[in-house]
Amino acid sequence: MVKKIDKSVLFFKPWITTEDKKSVLNALNSTFLTFGPKLEIFERSFSKMTGAKYAIAVSNATSALQLSLKAIGIKKGDQVIIPDMTFVATASAVINNDATPVLTDISEDFNISTKDIERKITDKTKVIVPVHFAGKSCNMNEIMKIAKKNNLAVIEDCAHAIGTKFNGKHVGLFGNAGCFSFYPTKNITTIEGGMVITNSKKIADYIKSSRNHGLTKSLQRRYEKGYPWEYDVIEAGYNYRLDEIRSALGNSQLKRISELNSLRRKASRYYNSKLRLVEGIIVPEITNDDSCHLYIIRIQKKFGESRNSLYSRLLKSGIQTTVHYKPLHKFTIFRNNKDKNENYPNTIIIYNEILSLPLYPQISRKEQDRVINCIIN
């Protein structure tokens, strides 16, 4: 029988090791299945890795953003500046706090445009939410300067940026808080999961309580002193807890973050070495400070084929690619704000040119060569 050769290249493949599986099984055998010691270890390890005073694990990055905004006192009528080019969760975290996202143009590096941030500030603006897009840090010096000048808070969306640094400091530590995602495609995964890092005790305490129904004490703490039912509830909270199984997986994955990121970097640099020579293709600049969450090229006129046509041609050859992201202002939910394409000139140009190529730590040279050859020929 002739063996069928699978020539497909998936956009992403998760990497769950035998060690990861052992950690998960071990967690299933423990007394605490949620909100226990494995969560605390995960938080301690994450705060050590980033250098944050506090790391608070939650159910996903969307809840991390929602609670961080709530922690700094966002309320109805407030405006929050976010990039037009991001996943919708950056905006829904604002909307679900009854505040208004103000969509902002991006720069050539796909990050929020600081010039457009300044243009969008009004007397209702309370917060800037920069997204470290694809794992490359925003210019946090410029953003913090604007924030200080205008007395604004900054909540960093670090969903793409586990391991990303700016001037030697982990992202998420420049503003009031930083929010991370552990969704399966992210640089480490807990399947679903998120983390807030902050140096503010006030923000940390608020999120620790609000993620757990607003209770002032966790189950473990309640048995340490006094009666376990003697907790208080100051404000209605949420159930945004991360369970012990996910925390155990997070602990196990986090041990490999340097390896995972350096494999992503290596694969991204390999793409760069071949694709930067192709006329009409712009490749990303890669530094050791980037988490290389996504590998995004720009397809320009000189390439002689549109982005959409290249996408279809790759798919026909079994190669999955995608676009990060369709700009937010194009969604029905944002139509009411009367924003038109011309308000986001860079975003529109970039959106029509970008293509995210398959990238994950274990991608092989053979798979990358298939992608590269298919693009070139």
Ligand X SMILES: Cc1ncc(COP(=O)(O)O)c(C=O)c1O
Taking CB under 6 A as the rule, does residue 87 contact ligand X?
A: yes
Of 188 and 372, which has the nearer Cβ to ligand X?
188
Burial profile 47-70: b = 16 or more Cβ within 10 angstroms, e = fewer: bebbebebbbbbbbbbbbbbbbbb
Taking CB under 6 A as the rule, does residue 60 contact ligand X?
A: yes
Kindly tell me which residue out of 61, 196, 283, 355 binds ligand X, with binding defined by CB under 6 A.
Answer: 61
What is the DSSP annotation of 22-50?
HHHHHHHTSS-SBSSHHHHHHHHHHHHHH
Let me know the angle formed at the C-alpha of 119 by 113 and 123, rounded to the nearest 5 degrees: 125
Taking CB under 6 A as the rule, does residue 147 contact ligand X?
A: no
Kindly tell me which residue out of 24, 27, 80, 89 binds ligand X, with binding defined by CB under 6 A.
Answer: 89
| # residues contacting ligand X (CB under 6 A) | 14
In angstroms, what is the minimal distance from the CB of 123 to ligand X? Answer: 27
Largest Cα span, the chain: 73
Cβ distance 35 to 239 under 8 Å? no
Taking CB under 6 A as the rule, does residue 194 contact ligand X?
A: yes
In angstroms, what is the minimal distance from the CB of 133 to ligand X? Answer: 7
Taking CB under 6 A as the rule, does residue 159 contact ligand X?
A: yes
Residue type present at position 73: G
Neighbours of 259 (CB within 10 A): 10
- The one-character DSSP state at 324 is S
In angstroms, what is the minimal distance from the CB of 57 to ligand X? Answer: 12
Of 79 and 181, which has the nearer Cβ to ligand X?
181
In angstroms, what is the minimal distance from the CB of 241 to ligand X? Answer: 14
Cβ distance 92 to 100 under 8 Å? no
Of 61 and 275, which has the nearer Cβ to ligand X?
61
Taking CB under 6 A as the rule, does residue 79 contact ligand X?
A: no
Q: Which stretch binds ligand X (CB under 6 A): 86-94, 309-317, 331-339, 367-375?
A: 86-94
Kindly tell me which residue out of 181, 210, 251, 291 binds ligand X, with binding defined by CB under 6 A.
Answer: 181
Taking CB under 6 A as the rule, does residue 187 contact ligand X?
A: no
Q: Which stretch binds ligand X (CB under 6 A): 157-165, 221-229, 235-243, 359-367?
A: 157-165
Cβ distance 244 to 32 under 8 Å? yes
Q: Which stretch binds ligand X (CB under 6 A): 5-13, 24-32, 153-161, 205-213?
A: 153-161
Q: Which stretch binds ligand X (CB under 6 A): 57-65, 196-204, 233-241, 278-286?
A: 57-65
Cβ distance 47 to 172 under 8 Å? no
Query: CA 358, CA 296: separation in Å to the nearest integer?
Result: 9
Kindly tell me which residue out of 11, 183, 270, 311 binds ligand X, with binding defined by CB under 6 A.
Answer: 183
Taking CB under 6 A as the rule, does residue 62 contact ligand X?
A: yes
Q: Where are the alpha helices (DSSP H) in 88-137?
A: 89-95, 114-120
Which tokens hold the place of 37?
Answer: 């010691």
The alpha carbon of 132 is separated from its chain's Cα centroid by a whole number of angstroms, namely 7
- The one-character DSSP state at 319 is B
Of 195 and 282, which has the nearer Cβ to ligand X?
195
Of 12 and 270, which has the nearer Cβ to ligand X?
12
Q: Which stretch binds ligand X (CB under 6 A): 28-36, 38-46, 84-92, 206-214?
A: 84-92
Cβ distance 136 to 108 under 8 Å? no
Beta bridge partners of 100: 79
Return the H-helix or E-strand segment holding 68: helix 61-71
Residues lying near ligand X in the complex (CB under 6 A) are found at 60-62, 86-87, 89-90, 131, 157, 159-160, 181, 183, 194
